[in-house]
């Protein structure tokens, strides 16, 4: 590199280095890739050097989260903890996990590390608050049966609002949501989008203005059939990416908080 080129590169380097996000991934692999893409696309960066540094544990060999919650099959906690340890050893400054259902084990994982661990539901609630919803507003929620059964959204302890999360009917979950999630995991994203679009149509017919895509497979499915994930949706993957960017970027007017204790 010439001296002139080196000088130009230095002009674009941020004065303060962003914190490194550690990503517990693989649930599923496409959802992790989507999170990383959104982490890049939503960043206010103008050069390579200004983007958010990330370390990803893309380890898909994690036992089924739905089965563990609903049928007491093998717990994924040991494998999730191993991914967490990989990220700690690699130098992550804080942790995210782009899988809603896996947040059933968030408390255990957060207790097992000194690193801050952003909760995906908190990220979604922050976006909902920005939309100016009334405190008791009904909000549609598309998620796995285990996410509903575990109350991952409804029972979030830090949920200061009284938002009413409205699920599809049991038959709609069985007919549309579960097959759509499975199709994304199998790489048939457009087929999944056709199914989930019908489920959304039914929720809209019940007067639900906002719908939370509370499974990180679902935003990809809708985008694959041309649905714009904009005002009427809250994409949990995008919400988590925005929270990660906020946590990673140094605040220019305030001293850095290395503990990120506000998360």
* Beta-sheet pairing, 21-24 with 94-96: parallel
Which 3-state string (H, E, C) describes 210-259?
A: CEEECCCCHHHHHHHCCCCCCCCEEEHHHHHHHHHHHHHCCCCCCCCCCC
What confidence score (pLDDT) does residue 15 get? 47
**Whether residue 162 is found in the same domain as residue 115:** no
Q: Give the tens place of pLDDT for each residue, 9-31.
A: 334 444 468 999 999 999 999 99
Instruction: Give CA separation, 71 vs 53, 75, 95, 149, 178, in Å.
Output: 38, 10, 28, 11, 16
User: Which spans in the chain are helix H?
Assistant: 3-12, 29-41, 65-71, 77-90, 106-111, 120-130, 145-150, 170-172, 178-185, 189-205, 218-224, 236-248
**Whether residue 90 is found in the same domain as residue 155:** no
> Would you say residue 182 lies in a domain?
yes
CA gap 152, 164 in Å, rounded:
13
> Would you say residue 253 lies in a domain?
no
**Whether residue 244 is found in the same domain as residue 211:** no
> Would you say residue 115 lies in a domain?
yes
**Whether residue 39 is found in the same domain as residue 94:** yes
Q: Give the tens place of pLDDT for each residue, 98-151.
A: 999 999 999 999 999 999 999 999 999 999 989 888 778 899 999 999 999 999
Mean pLDDT of the region 153-176: 85
**Whether residue 206 is found in the same domain as residue 186:** yes
> Would you say residue 19 lies in a domain?
yes
Listed in sequence order, the residues at least 6 apart from 226 whose beta carbon sits closer than 8 Å to its beta carbon are none
What confidence score (pLDDT) does residue 163 get? 83
CA 58 to centroid of chain Cα atoms: 14
Does the pLDDT at position 228 exceed 60?
yes
Mean pLDDT of the region 150-177: 86
**Whether residue 19 is found in the same domain as residue 67:** yes
In DSSP notation, 127-147 reads HHHHTT--TT-EEEEE--HHH
Confidence of residue 159 (pLDDT cuts 50, 70, 90): low
Mean pLDDT of the region 177-200: 96
Q: Which backbone phi and psi does 113 adopt, to 5 degrees?
A: -140, 155
Confidence of residue 208 (pLDDT cuts 50, 70, 90): very high
> Would you say residue 87 lies in a domain?
yes
CA gap 193, 224 in Å, rounded:
6
CATH number at residue 180: 3.40.50.1860
Give the range of the structural domain holding residue 143, as residue numbers without chain letter: 121-236
| Inter-residue contact 250 to 256 (CB < 8 Å) | yes
Residue that wins the pLDDT comparison between 45 and 254: 45
> Would you say residue 261 lies in a domain?
no
> Would you say residue 11 lies in a domain?
yes
Q: Please, what is the angle between helix 120-130 and helix 236-248, to 10°?
A: 100
Mean pLDDT of the region 53-77: 98
Share the mean pLDDT of the chain. 89
| Inter-residue contact 23 to 98 (CB < 8 Å) | yes
**Whether residue 197 is found in the same domain as residue 160:** yes
What confidence score (pLDDT) does residue 251 get? 67
**Whether residue 93 is found in the same domain as residue 185:** no
Q: Give the tens place of pLDDT for each residue, 30-40.
A: 999 999 999 99
Does the pLDDT at position 172 exceed 60?
yes
> Would you say residue 263 lies in a domain?
no
CA gap 109, 232 in Å, rounded:
32
The total domain count for the chain is 2
**Whether residue 158 is found in the same domain as residue 109:** no
What confidence score (pLDDT) does residue 51 get? 95
**Whether residue 115 is found in the same domain as residue 139:** no
**Which residues are registered as beta bridge partners of 95?**
22, 117
**Whether residue 20 is found in the same domain as residue 111:** yes
| Inter-residue contact 58 to 30 (CB < 8 Å) | no
Mean pLDDT of the region 46-59: 95
Mind telling me the catalytic residues?
Answer: 99, 215
Does the pLDDT at position 261 exceed 80?
no
Instruction: For residue 138, give both structure tokens.
Output: 């009904």
What confidence score (pLDDT) does residue 12 get? 40
**Whether residue 148 is found in the same domain as residue 229:** yes
Q: Is the pTM of this model over 0.85?
A: yes
């Amino acid at each position: 590199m010439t001296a002139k080129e080196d000088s130009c590169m230095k002009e674009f380097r941020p004065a303060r280095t962003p914190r490194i996000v550690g990503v517990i991934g693989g649930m599923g692999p496409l959802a992790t890739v989507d999170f990383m893409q959104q982490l890049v696309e939503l960043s206010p960066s103008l050069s390579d050097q200004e983007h958010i540094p990330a370390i990803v544990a893309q380890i898909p060999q994690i036992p089924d989260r739905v089965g563990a919650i609903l049928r007491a099959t093998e717990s994924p906690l040991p494998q999730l903890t191993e991914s967490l340890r990989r990220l700690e050893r690699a130098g992550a400054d804080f942790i995210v996990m782009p899988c809603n259902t896996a947040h059933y084990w968030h408390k255990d994982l957060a207790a097992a590390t000194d690193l801050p661990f952003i909760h995906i539901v908190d990220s979604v609630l922050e976006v909902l608050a920005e939309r100016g919803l009334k405190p008791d507003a009904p909000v549609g929620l598309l998620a796995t049966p285990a996410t509903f059964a575990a109350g991952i959204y409804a029972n979030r302890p830090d949920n200061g609002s009284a938002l009413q999360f409205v699920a599809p009917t049991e038959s709609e979950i069985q007919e549309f949501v579960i097959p759509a999630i499975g199709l994304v995991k199998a790489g048939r994203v457009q087929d999944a989008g056709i199914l989930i679009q019908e489920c959304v149509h039914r929720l809209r017919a019940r007067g639900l203005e906002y719908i939370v895509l509370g499974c990180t497979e679902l935003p990809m499915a809708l985008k694959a059939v041309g649905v714009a994930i904009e005002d009427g949706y809250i994409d949990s993957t995008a919400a988590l990416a925005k929270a990660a960017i906020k946590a990673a970027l140094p605040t220019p007017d305030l001293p850095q908080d290395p503990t990120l204790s506000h998360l």
